[in-house]
Structure 1
Amino acid sequence: MLLVVLAFAVLMLLGMPVAFAIAISGALFFLQNLDLPTTIPVQVTVSQTQNFALLAVPLFIIAGNVLNRAGITARLLALATVIAGRLRGGLAQVSVVLSALMGGVSGSAIADASMQARMLGHEMVRRGMTRGFAAGVLSFGSLLTPVIPPGIGMILYGSIGQVSIGRLFAAGFVPAALLWVALAAAIAATARVRGYPPERTAAPTLAEAAGALKGGIWALLFPVFLLVGLRMGVFTPSEIGAFAVVYAVLVGAAIHRELRGRSFAQAMEQSLTDVGAVMFLIALSAIFTYGIVLEQIPDLVSGALTAVSEDVTVVMALIVLFVLAIGFFVDATVLIIMLTPVFLPLVRSLGGDPVHFGLVFIIAATIGNFTPPVGAAMYAVCSILRVPVGEYTLESLPLLAAVSAATLLLVLAPGAVTFVPDLLFGPG
């Protein structure tokens, strides 16, 4: 298995697409074990796509792209300005709130970071912010997007680990609020030193607040409807994905009336690209995962960690630190797919809550999207704003420290994560 891991690392460093690096390195495992049937790689790849729960992934991707084409983003930007416009840091603070509001729409940190970089990035620079700081805020701010339901990472983790997706959705709200506070504090501290002013000096009038809320209400209700549908047993996670698509089309075509033939076709085209990339990665990861299970890697990892401590909090903290470190080199989706079957059984055996672990694990894995050398969201934002990676990295250090500290704090406070799921669904 060591050769497989080394091959994966080398292929990643050479710049090979992640899906192919996983498939090729996974295939080496079967070349080393000639007694295994050669049909297994094909069988596990196909069977991986037959998981009914994963049907929610393409459906939520389609719903997010349709909502983005339905005029939701501009309305949420107005609402975000009302909420955070008076905080020190101006558009930087507004962008973080917008990411939180967009969580129920896109579900993808990379998509949100790219969109906001085009919408707000150059305007932030024109208002006096350095390009590196603007890029760092837009990148790390999008961490809130996959934490608010319906995050794709939650669906993957829940499907692989047999964890209630409804409870995972409900668990995201308090962690998202904590991450927002951490980022807002880091931005405000930087803004105070550099003299970045608030976006607005006067408090919004009641009419402004009501108008902004009215404009964004259908996006805000989206995750609420998802949770209510799951809680009442009206939908399964897969069925609620279909509801999300219908909801997005109705909002765009009948309520906002901005979803027309051309914009709908563009949403479908973007969805094909996004769904293809995600599902191709999920399918090929089965080859790698098969070797991990067969070699009993979860048992080896469990033994190593429990040798350090058998306290579930200590073990979870070690896992978070490990995921933060490896996230510098491996994509978040890959980490969730490959490491869930490794770490989740260990946490369960020590009495840990799988929903609590899932949220902190997903957050820690997603942070890797914003760090060099392979952070996808980082490269997307840096390319749009033409920022050198070195400048981005230096300017982002306070933001990285803030979200890492918030993640470790969540490890110590399981009740903050499980409070909403227990309230809606009963004790887990």
Structure 2
Amino acid sequence: MGMTLLLGLFALGIIIGMPVAFALGLAALSAFFYEGLPHFVAFQRLSSGVGTYSLLAIPFFIFAGELMLHGGIANRLVQFATALVGSRRGGLGIVNVFSSMLFGGISGSAVADTSALGSILIPIMKKEGYRADYAVNVTVTSSIAGIMIPPSHNMILYAVAAGGGISVSRLFMAGVVPGVLMCVLLGFAAWIVAVRHGYPSVPFPGWKVVGQTAIRALPGFFTAVIIVGGVLSGIFTVTESGAIGVAYALVITGLVYRELTWAGFVMAVRQASKTTALVMILVGCAAAYGYMLAFYQVPEALAGFITGYTQNPTTILLLINVMLLVAGMVMDMAALILICTPIFLPLAVQFGMDPIQFGMVLMMNLGLGLCTPPVGSCLFVGCAIGGVKIEKAVLTIWPFYLAILVALALTTYVPAVSLTLPNLVFGN
């Protein structure tokens, strides 16, 4: 009865439109009270959920991303990408993917990527004769690069949800190859669709212009180098690198590019504060909910159900992927990381998957959920910018879904895709 209360109240909260954090908190507290557990334990779990030191990096990463969003870095990355790869057939589609790979590796946010690059590229693509749904689909699906390519605050959430025994530095390195692989496949899909529809290309401006745009974009791109390089070299902790990244972003956008206005700075502070508050409330409520999931042995029950159906590792990993994909279609990514990690990670490890590799599988699955109805936030943002109905965009987005699914399959069944780089950098 208690487990029914825990799961049922959460599901009811989601169905009636309650914020995910509140649905988690209400369900967890109800289960605590039903079981007669001391009330202070529930609030202990809530507070301990946000008491992890590594979570301090999240507000810094979010703030740095907001500063770059309002400070002109995205514009310069788009100019560089256009000069470098825009001369191919359907070049602006490839530019979109390449820009997402660059900006995503700086902002670490898929929604920020969609908002910043979509506002620049979608109107340009429509003006140049590209269909609006194509422009939206390329922008939305390539935004997942912000989740995979470091730095990514979602990877910090995963490390916390996994119990704190996973290195964030290894996770950062593990995301590079899957993220780039996914972007290459998306670029290929964008090119195929562009050729099929006869979309135009822009003239190659020459290597001199490529060099000039690269130089202009380099200070902004160096933000990611400072953050990730500082962590990997051991000079900074993850939290310290986030703080250094914020300071550097302020200098670049305010003093070098001189595009960060006071209004833009206030907006960045406001949005970063709002997002941080939402994430931290979610983490606290998810910690209490996870405690009750463990109390009712839900992870063990699910593992027993799946292994009772099949003992084939390939089939089990496929089932995990399917369940994560379905969950990603109906819930927010951060909440799912915190809920699904303690449930599926032990099962994946039991059947031979490295925790680092599972983290990449989880990120890509849930990232795809950001691009799918009914609650895909990136899809909503992209369609709003492009002035396209969601139903119309979804009808033509399948080649890009297919590209991501191919990258997901390779990441799931070929451990070297996600493990080679961190093993080279840090050792086995």
State the TM-score, normalized to the length of structure 1. 0.93
Are positions 1:165 and 2:168 aligned together? yes
User: How far 1:13 moved relative to its partner?
Assistant: 2.6
Alignment correspondent of 1:233: 234
Alignment correspondent of 1:322: 323
Alignment correspondent of 1:411: 412
Alignment correspondent of 1:272: 273
Alignment correspondent of 1:219: 220
Alignment correspondent of 1:201: 203
Partners of 2:226 and 2:407 lie apart in 1 by 28
Alignment correspondent of 2:183: 180
Secondary structure at 2:108 match in 1: coil
Q: Is the 8 A contact 2:65 2:112 kept in 1?
A: no
Alignment correspondent of 1:18: 20
Alignment correspondent of 1:396: 397
User: How far 1:397 moved relative to its partner?
Assistant: 1.7
- Which deviations, in whole Å up to 9, do the C-alpha atoms of 1:348-395 show, x marking residues without a partner? 333421111111111111111111111111112222333222112112
- Which deviations, in whole Å up to 9, do the C-alpha atoms of 1:53-92 show, x marking residues without a partner? 1111111111111222332111101111123202332322
Q: Is the 8 A contact 2:226 2:241 kept in 1?
A: no
Number of matched residues?
Answer: 424
User: How far 1:265 moved relative to its partner?
Assistant: 2.6
Partners of 2:73 and 2:96 lie apart in 1 by 15
Q: How do residues 303-382 of structure 1 correspond to structure 2 at under 5 angstroms?
A: 303-310=304-311, 312-382=313-383
User: Per the alignment, do residues 31 and 128 of structure 1 end up closer, same or farther by CA in structure 2, a change over 3 Å counting?
Assistant: farther
Q: Is the 8 A contact 1:320 1:408 kept in 2?
A: no
State the TM-score, normalized to the length of structure 2. 0.93
Alignment correspondent of 2:4: 2
Match of 1:29 among 28, 31, 37: 31
User: How far 1:262 moved relative to its partner?
Assistant: 3.8
Write the letter of the residue equivalent to 1:86.
S
Write the letter of the residue equivalent to 2:329.
F
User: How far 1:221 moved relative to its partner?
Assistant: 2.6
Q: Is the 8 A contact 2:331 2:375 kept in 1?
A: yes
Secondary structure at 2:397 match in 1: helix
User: Per the alignment, do residues 121 and 356 of structure 1 end up closer, same or farther by CA in structure 2, a change over 3 Å counting?
Assistant: same
Are positions 1:62 and 2:88 aligned together? no
Q: Is the 8 A contact 1:100 1:144 kept in 2?
A: yes
Write the letter of the residue equivalent to 2:273.
L
User: How far 1:321 moved relative to its partner?
Assistant: 1.9
Partners of 2:84 and 2:307 lie apart in 1 by 45
For structure 2, list consecutive stretches of 5 or more residues without a partner in the other structure. none
For structure 1, list consecutive stretches of 5 or more residues without a partner in the other structure. none
Q: How do residues 239-254 of structure 1 correspond to structure 2 at under 5 angstroms?
A: 239-254=240-255
Write the letter of the residue equivalent to 2:121.
L
Partners of 1:16 and 1:88 lie apart in 2 by 46
Q: Is the 8 A contact 1:313 1:411 kept in 2?
A: no
User: Per the alignment, do residues 183 and 242 of structure 1 end up closer, same or farther by CA in structure 2, a change over 3 Å counting?
Assistant: same
Partners of 2:24 and 2:370 lie apart in 1 by 18
Secondary structure at 2:88 match in 1: coil
Q: Is the 8 A contact 1:347 1:357 kept in 2?
A: yes
Partners of 2:29 and 2:216 lie apart in 1 by 51
User: Per the alignment, do residues 258 and 88 of structure 1 end up closer, same or farther by CA in structure 2, a change over 3 Å counting?
Assistant: same
Alignment correspondent of 2:193: 190
Partners of 1:27 and 1:131 lie apart in 2 by 46
Write the letter of the residue equivalent to 2:127.
R
User: Per the alignment, do residues 227 and 386 of structure 1 end up closer, same or farther by CA in structure 2, a change over 3 Å counting?
Assistant: closer
User: Per the alignment, do residues 130 and 10 of structure 1 end up closer, same or farther by CA in structure 2, a change over 3 Å counting?
Assistant: farther
Write the letter of the residue equivalent to 2:171.
L
Partners of 2:90 and 2:33 lie apart in 1 by 55
Q: Is the 8 A contact 1:316 1:357 kept in 2?
A: no
Q: Is the 8 A contact 1:156 1:336 kept in 2?
A: yes
Partners of 1:374 and 1:296 lie apart in 2 by 29
Alignment correspondent of 1:118: 119
